[in-house]
Amino acid sequence: MSDCVKYEVHGEVAVLTMNKPPVNGLGADLRAGIVAALDQANADSAVRALVLTGSVRAFSGGADVTEFGTPKAAREPNLRVVIDLIENSGKPVVAAMGGQCLGGGLELALGCHFRVALADATLGLPEVKLGLLPGAGGTQRLPRLLGLEAALNIIVSGNPTPAIKFKGTPLIDEIVEGDLVSGGVAFARKVVAEGLPLKRARDLKVRDPQSDAFLQFARNTITAALKNFPAPLKCFEAVAASVSKPFDEGVQVEREGFLALMATPESRALRHVFAAERAATKIADVPEGTALRPVNQVAVIGAGTMGGGITMNFVNAGMPVVLLETQQAALDKGLATIRKNYENSMKKGKLSQAQVDERMGLIKPTLSYEGFRNVDLVIEAVFESMDVKEQVFKKLDEVIKPGAILASNTSALNLDKIAAFTKRPQDVIGLHFFSPANVMRLLEIVRGAKTAADVLATCMAMAKKIKKIAVVSGVCEGFIGNRMLARYGAAANGLLNQGALPQQVDGALQKFGLAMGPFRMGDLAGLDIGWAGRKRRQAENPGAYVPVVADRICEAGRFGQKTGAGWYRYETSKRDPIPDPIVEALIAEYRKEKGLTPRKISDTEVIERCMYALVNEGARILAEGIAARASDIDIVYLNGYGFPVHRGGPMLYADMVGLPNVVRRLRQFAAEPGADPSWQPAPLLVKLADEGKTFN
Ligand SMILES: NC(=O)c1ccc[n+]([C@@H]2O[C@H](COP(=O)([O-])OP(=O)(O)OC[C@H]3O[C@@H](n4cnc5c(N)ncnc54)[C@H](O)[C@@H]3O)[C@@H](O)[C@H]2O)c1
């Protein structure tokens, strides 16, 4: 008998307990173990009924993700076979469900003849979130048990529901109070004692008198809402087959849909993102289980745009924050902005007045460093100036207790220099939040040359607590995200030189799936920020500076939405970008001065230049060890830069295009007269392409 399934006999009931931590993933060993235990129970004449159960944490979380893409995933008996064997068992099988009962786990339970559950067991079919559909009969059995509309909602949304919500439906025969296994055994005894007939979901008919009208409505809604994702519609088609076709034919529709989806780039992207998010939490030289430093009291320095948003993250997680400013007026303004944000959430019904008061009550505003002794983590978000950072970090070094973590939210300054302002560089780290910091999920955790492993591990754990998705970056100008963004911006500006207009570049990239093209994004963020950066770099290295057309836009006083004009013009208090002939004239004048002859540029070329610029810099970042893995780069772009999730991030996109194709185009761009040398394909990219490998 497999170790994965514990087999016990309680009188006339055999209890099969799945035992594959952490979540009873239905890998090859567990599947084989279930079948062996089922056969044993059916062969034992003393056994009259079976209970199939799991752990307190999970009946089963579904497929074993660690076996994805390995031969074990396809090893027989596959899950459909296991479920059919259970459904065809001559003796009644009762599923006793607690904790997660998701995906293949729920499909397994649907194959049992009866189901009992703890009230808070979570039931769901989340396959759609990986661009798939439930492929082990779920689309056929769930509608038969629960009705068309409820089943379709569960399958198309992928969202889990507590078992108690299904009380009184054929999906849940009984809610168990107290011990789950005892409840399951008691229910099995009742089945035997009362001679209840075996309920096989496959034998039921879907009950819904108005299914045609409902299906038409549902198809239209799904088609309109989810245009970049093929999975919801395939889920719909499979569920619709449960109404119109016999069970075995419906299963065939489900099977075909599953195989078709498995081959789509969207599903590949979503599965990549799922794995990438898990991978990003692992740091090669920081072992899991590293002892963490305590973080109970947080301080934020600077109550501006970022400091306010950062503060909200911590108070939202119930942690008190000391918020320091130099002037009362700045402090008042920062607090008023935070309050306004909370009040807006209250107006939308997301927070109560009491919650707003409670959160504001967790913020201790101050103008002095008194009382900073108890602080465990301080995050500096003052002006982006090395002199100001020096002043602040020297002060922090004086007043903060030994062992506390000193973090900077700098976007571009050298973290190692900042660390050197203190006598404890091992305690200094970068916590690069993205604006608006209370909304954006991404947190780049910047590891300095001397940052201690436990400081890194503590910040990773803290990120999870405040619901951020953290990616570790090494120190370089712009870290992972903004360093790549600089190349992307340069590619977009280069397109203007060659003949495109901002609206064409933005339009092509938005059609590709980006939330906003680079020029609209620039207008939103403020063009003066980039201009200041270019001026700084020009001052640092005058010979290397190449003027860009963006300078002309700024010189005309057009800083974006905040000045009513930038790459576009804006009508008062509106945010819709309107193409502006003045910008066209400025671009035309610039091209003329530089002797550039405009040409027609296709949308495909816009995508190639902008995407391959990202990919090429991503490859350099990877080769330098600034990012630990290509998928970390994808996570940064998906969560911090509005990259479309159905593309899986820039590095996966390059894999899907084919690295030799990317290299070929980069070489063509690099060979153009006067081309920026950064178009030369990165050595790592060329190496992978030559070896027939991919980033991911
Ligand atoms: N704005 C963004 O999109 C963004 C994104 C990521 C990171 N950052 C970084 O975050 C930091 C802050 O940026 P911001 O946009 O919030 O700037 P901001 O100008 O809105 O806020 C800075 C605040 O710091 C205060 N301050 C200045 N010197 C101080 C001192 N010595 N002690 C205490 N408070 C002081 C100022 O009064 C001001 O309220 C910068 O390093 C910036 O590069 C900004």
Q: Note whether 306 and 433 are within 8 A (CB).
A: yes
User: Which carries the bigger pLDDT value, residue 545 or residue 172?
Assistant: 172
Q: Take atom 40 of ligand 1 and give the residue whose Cα is closest.
A: 384
Q: Ligand 1 pocket, 611 CB below 6 A?
A: no
Q: How far apart, in whole angstroms, are the C-alpha atoms of residue 441 and residue 434?
A: 8
The ligand 1 atom nearest the CA atom of 389: 31
Q: Give tens-digit pLDDT for 608-662.
A: 999 999 999 999 999 999 999 999 999 999 999 999 999 999 999 999 999 999 9
- Provide the token pair at 340: 């306004």
Q: What are phi and psi of 99, to 5 degrees?
A: 65, -145
User: What pLDDT score does 1 carry?
Assistant: 52
Taking residues 239-246, what's their average pLDDT?
95
Cβ of 304 below 6 Å from ligand 1: yes
Please report the atom of ligand 1 found closest to the CA of residue 410: 41
Cα(217)–Cα(190) distance, integer angstroms: 42
Pocket test for ligand 1, best of 382, 399, 468 (most atoms within 8 A of CB): 382
User: Does residue 654 contact residue 630 with C-beta atoms inside 8 Å?
Assistant: no
Residue 223: pLDDT band by 50, 70, 90 thresholds? confident
Closest alpha carbon to 473 in 640, 307, 650, 696: 640
Q: Give me ligand 1 centre to Cα 597, in Å.
A: 42
pLDDT in tens, 85-97: 999 999 999 999 9
CB of 290 closer than 6 angstroms to any ligand 1 atom: no
pLDDT classification of 2: cutoffs 50, 70, 90: low
Of 421, 426, 382, which Cα lies nearest the Cα of 402? 426
pLDDT band at 547 (very low <50, low <70, confident <90, very high): confident
Is residue 325 lining ligand 1, measured as CB closer than 6 Å?
yes
- 306 C-alpha to ligand 1 centroid (Å): 6
- Determine the Cα–Cα distance for residues 34 and 105; give it in Å rounded to an integer: 12
For residue 346 the two structure tokens come to 């209250």
Contact of 400 with 387, CB cutoff 8 Å: no
Amino acid of residue 452: A
Distance of CA 542 to CAs 376, 447, 532, 538, 546, Å? Answer: 42, 30, 14, 5, 9
Q: How crowded is residue 424: how many other Cβ atoms within 10 Å of its Cβ?
A: 18
Read off the pLDDT of residues 96-120 as tens digits, 9 standing for 90 and up.
999 999 999 999 999 999 999 999 9
Q: Which is the closest atom of ligand 1 to the Cα of 334?
A: 39
Ligand 1 atom with minimal separation from the 392 CA: 31
Distant-in-sequence, close-in-space partners of 60: CB < 8 Å, separation ≥ 6: 18, 23, 24, 25, 26, 54, 100, 101, 102, 104, 105, 108
The residue written with tokens 């303004």 in the block is 333
Q: Which two tokens stand for residue 114?
A: 């009866």
Q: Which amino acid appears at position 29 of this protein?
A: D
What pLDDT does 464 receive? 96
Query: What pLDDT is recorded for position 225?
Result: 77
The reported pLDDT for the residue numbered 305 is: 92
In the beta sheet, which residues pair with residue 7?
16
Whether 271 shows a pLDDT value over 80: the answer reads yes
Distance 381 CA to ligand 1 centre (A): 4
**What residues are labeled active site?**
107, 127
Segment 551-564 shows an average pLDDT of 94
- CA 631, CA 648: separation in Å to the nearest integer? 9
pLDDT of residue 310 exceeding 80: yes
Question: Would you state the pLDDT for residue 17?
Answer: 98
* Residue 307 CB less than 6 A away from ligand 1: yes
**Does the CB atom of residue 379 touch ligand 1 within 6 A?**
no
Å from CA of 305 to ligand 1 middle: 7
- Determine the atom of ligand 1 nearest the C-alpha atom of 525: 3
Ligand 1 center from residue 308 Cα (angstroms): 10
Mean pLDDT of all residues in 193-205:
96
473 phi and psi, to 5 degrees? -125, 145
pLDDT, tens only, 657-691: 999 999 999 999 999 998 999 999 999 999 999 99
Torsion sign across C-alpha atoms 58, 61, 65, 68: positive
Q: Are 458 and 424 in contact (CB under 8 A)?
A: no
The enclosing H or E element of 16 equals strand 13-18
* Alpha carbons 306 and 109: distance in angstroms, whole number: 48
For residue range 379-394, list pLDDT tens digits in order: 999 998 999 999 999 9
Check pocket membership of 24 for ligand 1, CB cut-off 6 A.
no
CB-based contacts of 286, cutoff 8 Å, min separation 6:
453, 456, 457, 460
Angle at 207 between CA 201 and CA 213, to 5 degrees: 135
